Structure 1
Amino acid sequence: MKPTHSDAMNPITEDDIANYLANTPDFFERHAQLLAQVQLTSPHGNRAVSLQERQAEMLREKIKALEHRVMDMVRHGTENVVTADRLQRWTRGLLTTRDARGLPWQIAADLQTLFMVPQTAIKVWDCDVPYWSEGYAQWVTDDVKTLATSLTAPYCGLNSGFEAANWLGDARAAVSIALIPLRAEPGAPAFGLLVLASPDAQRFNPEMGTDFLERIADLASAALSRLRP
């Protein structure tokens, strides 16, 4: 059969062939010999391979990708277990301590030790009278209080000269920083600020989730309620 003028004007495209094969599943049943004749280029070289061999290679690649995903899930699961264990130990310390006066220092120090944070600091204001002379209750400016209250979630990112960074032992080494406001309840003015810092610019970055830090804030705020009138 000779091609018509219409066929010449509208030649068959690869999409036409693909659609035909997709909608004619029994084609290769009627032409099974074609499967053995099809030759494809191997992704691992310029040699030609059969369709079956190429499909086997694709299947091996998919299996390898799935294995990597499983390994990542196991690794993340292990990391989550370790983090949960550390959080539990930190929380236990908050519950069992009897020294309310030294509790802010304990909160910061235990976070630094358990979670391997290079530097930590904490300030608490609006304390009850017996705690006014403690270092954590002094030298807090109104600017810091305003900043802490304005944070609806922990701030994570580069240290752009935050005043609170000066509470750290070495402010120059605080490249990335987390500022965690402490408040009695959601929406209430902050009564304290917890600072975590690292020389690693990516340790506390804007893309990281803050759920864990928010949990830290809730627990620390509840424990520090003992210092408030």
Structure 2
Amino acid sequence: MTEQDIANYLQTNPEFFERQADLLAAVRLISPHSRRTVSLQERQAEMLREKIRMLEGRLIEMIRHGSDNLALSDRMLCWARDLFLTQDADALPEAIAESIQLQFAVPQVAIRVWDVNPDFAGASFAQGVSEDARLLANSLREPFCGVNSGFEATGWLAHPSQAISLALLPLRSLEAGSNGPAFGMLVLASPDAQRYTSTMGTDFLSRIAEVASAALTPLR
């Protein structure tokens, strides 16, 4: 007879413990916490307390994630509100960048838009974009996050030397989808190398890019 045979027997014959009630009281186990000998009931209580602590930890983590998500949603709504309140089309790019910097505490933000209506071709946000920068934006199917390895787009920032980690958000027509040509790019930069990493999720950044792309429609 093996240990598994015994375990199977006890599982299928719970009345065994009713017939051998004294056995339960006599069983002594070693507590993994205090290394002292405890009764079966006390060991079961320890296991339950440990399971409760694990569940409490998971609940606290879920609450924290929920609070973080709620805070992000509130910031996103405030940012979208700022865009709705921007009346002049040529002020939209600057409003997008400034509000992102304010609402999401991003140290540096820059934006460039190309292929704009001739009325906006002379604006600062439509200047200083090389063909290489456009090709880079076109190649990004989702936001890029990682260390700054000398991207030309950092030159759009007020302090390029302080851009250690970056998030590059391509701006596209929503009708064209991720495979369509980009008409602009947002640059989010931080002196913290861990702010934007290659392993972080980009879903939220993608939503920011979508909202910004939609807001910039009057420029095209």
- Match of residue 34 from structure 1: 23
Secondary structure at the residue paired with 1:195? strand
The offset of 1:14, in angstroms, is: 2.6
Q: Deviations over 1:132-161 (max 9, x none)?
A: 222211111111101111111111122222
- Match of residue 122 from structure 2: 133
- Match of residue 214 from structure 1: 206
Segments of 5+ residues of structure 1 without an aligned counterpart are: 1-11
Segments of 5+ residues of structure 2 without an aligned counterpart are: none
Equivalenced residue count is 217
Secondary structure at the residue paired with 2:138? helix
- Match of residue 99 from structure 1: 88
Q: Give the TM-score normalised by structure 1.
A: 0.89
Aligned match for 1:16, one of 5, 28, 38: 5
- Match of residue 37 from structure 2: 48
Q: Give the TM-score normalised by structure 2.
A: 0.92
- Match of residue 157 from structure 2: 168
The offset of 1:189, in angstroms, is: 0.4
The offset of 1:212, in angstroms, is: 1.3
How far apart are the structure 2 equivalents of 1:61 and 1:209?
32
Q: Deviations over 1:31-90 (max 9, x none)?
A: 111111111111222210111001101111111121122222222222222111111111
List 4+ stretches of structure 1 deviating above 6 A.
Answer: none
Q: Deviations over 1:7-30 (max 9, x none)?
A: xxxxx3333322332333222122
Q: Deviations over 1:76-115 (max 9, x none)?
A: 2222221111111111111121121121111011101110
* Paired residue type of 1:200: D
User: Quick check: 1:116 aligned with 2:108?
Assistant: no
Identity across aligned pairs (percent)?
57
* Paired residue type of 1:206: S
User: Quick check: 1:72 aligned with 2:61?
Assistant: yes
Secondary structure at the residue paired with 1:127? coil
How far apart are the structure 2 equivalents of 1:14 and 1:32?
21
* Paired residue type of 1:158: V
Secondary structure at the residue paired with 1:97? coil
The offset of 1:126, in angstroms, is: 0.7
The offset of 1:221, in angstroms, is: 0.7
How far apart are the structure 1 equivalents of 2:89 and 2:188?
22
